[in-house]
Structure 1
Amino acid sequence: MIVNLETERLVLRPFDEGDVEAYHRIMSDLETNRFLPWYPTKSLDEARTMMHERAPGDGGLRYAICLKDDLVPIGYVHVSGSDNHDFGYGLRHEFWHRGIVTEASLAVVDQLRKDGLAYITATHDVNNPRSGAVMRKLGMHYCYSYEEQWQPKNIPVVFRLYQRNFDGVDRVWRKYWEQYENHFIEKIEERP
């Protein structure tokens, strides 16, 4: 069960039916969704469908990022329940460059660690290095890069995979390395 989290500026909570309009503002934001595989939503109905489809039914978690002053979602943090424990985030572009995603993600990462999750992974498009900077601020480390034909946009994208192990085991989640023929290791500066 998802527990609400609080930080200095934020409340992280599950999305609910009353959040459809706010969810649509996040998912229709062209800048927010530029580096994500799906197309931006075009209507409230489309957003409602997406919100329900992306609800964490696989044992994962999905938090709405809300500012404390109004509790309206402006972004999200999620972790999948699948074997990659994929960690991701999105934020309406007018709230970028304020440390909000990092603040929210650090709270979720701390909760995941307390809950006993062994590790998380995350990927970012090489053309979105700011996302990689957030991953490094979360204590994640670069593992490898791979090229994927991204769907439904049907474009080739090179992704960088990052990982953080919480349990002290030295492991790398290798599925994408094994799945995609074009994979390689780049020289990445590891500073946050």
Structure 2
Amino acid sequence: MKKTERLVIRPFQNSPTDLAALYAILADKDVNRFLPWWPIQSLAEAQDFYQKRIAPNSESQWYAICLRDDDTPIGYVTIGKGPSRDLGYGLRKAYWGQGITTEAAGAVVTELRAQQLPFITATHDVNNPASGKVMQRLGMQYQYSYKEQWQPKDILVTFRMYQLNLAQTDALVYREYWDKYPNHFIEQF
């Protein structure tokens, strides 16, 4: 468990409270507009999502974002266990614009530095610049962009890939997306 000035960041639990909160987060179409799944429709789907994506043996480590005075999750931060170590996040709309995602993700990044991981990555849809601003506030650097026919939504998305080198090796760039998607390029901002 990690604590910040306003937040507690902890593992999700397979509990009625956490599952109800997860449902509230994942059912909101605005929260999930730029994420690789459709909004869920029921508590049963929240339980299924938990079992497939969040449970301890999943492909990513999921952290619940809770306010310090309330242990109910209002959002999440994820870090992939694969080679990209992809950082992700989502937050209930009522809490947008308050710096909560940056604060929570920053606490997770601090922990990752202590684990001596070489880097983390994150991508965002160009139509979601707020997500890119979170990445920048975390100190992540833009590396490149690429176009992907994104599943399961089957839409063409232009992603911007950001990276934070935790081992202070600025020359290291994660290239899997660059190599995988032929329509890749570097934007000038």
Which category describes the TM-score, using the shorter chain as reference length? Answer: over 0.9
Other structure's SS at 1:75 match: strand
Instruction: Select 2:3's aligned residue among 1, 6, 9.
Output: 6
Q: Give how far 1:29 is off.
A: 1.0
Q: Give how far 1:139 is off.
A: 0.6
1:24-61 deviations in Å (ceiling 9; x for gaps): 00101111101111000000001110111112525742
Q: Percent identity?
A: 54
Contact 1:79 1:85 survives alignment (8 Å): yes
Determine the C-alpha separation between the residues in 2 that align with 1:141 and 1:57: 30
Other structure's SS at 2:152 match: coil
The residue that corresponds to 1:97 in the other structure is 97
Contact 2:52 2:58 survives alignment (8 Å): no
1:38 equivalent in alignment to 2:37: yes
1:101-147 deviations in Å (ceiling 9; x for gaps): 00001100001001111100000000000100100000100000000
Contact 1:30 1:40 survives alignment (8 Å): yes
Contact 1:58 1:82 survives alignment (8 Å): no
Contact 2:84 2:174 survives alignment (8 Å): yes
Contact 2:142 2:162 survives alignment (8 Å): yes
1:69 equivalent in alignment to 2:65: no
The residue that corresponds to 1:114 in the other structure is 114
1:16 equivalent in alignment to 2:13: yes
The residue that corresponds to 2:47 in the other structure is 48
Q: Give how far 1:5 is off.
A: 0.2
Other structure's SS at 2:21 match: helix
Contact 2:117 2:166 survives alignment (8 Å): yes
Q: How does 1:43-192 map to 2 (within 5 A)?
A: 43-55=42-54, 56-57=56-57, 60-169=60-169, 170-188=171-189
Q: Give how far 1:83 is off.
A: 0.2
The residue that corresponds to 2:24 in the other structure is 25
1:126-181 deviations in Å (ceiling 9; x for gaps): 00001001000001000000000111110000000000001122211001111111
Determine the C-alpha separation between the residues in 1 that align with 2:154 and 2:126: 17
Other structure's SS at 2:159 match: strand
Other structure's SS at 1:54 match: helix
Determine the C-alpha separation between the residues in 2 that align with 1:29 and 1:59: 23
1:39-87 deviations in Å (ceiling 9; x for gaps): 0000000111011111252574210000111110010001001000000
Contact 1:58 1:80 survives alignment (8 Å): no
Other structure's SS at 2:31 match: coil
Contact 2:124 2:131 survives alignment (8 Å): yes
Gaps of 5+ in 2: none
Amino acid at match of 1:33: N
CA gap of 1:88–1:58, structure 2 versus 1, over 3 A, is same
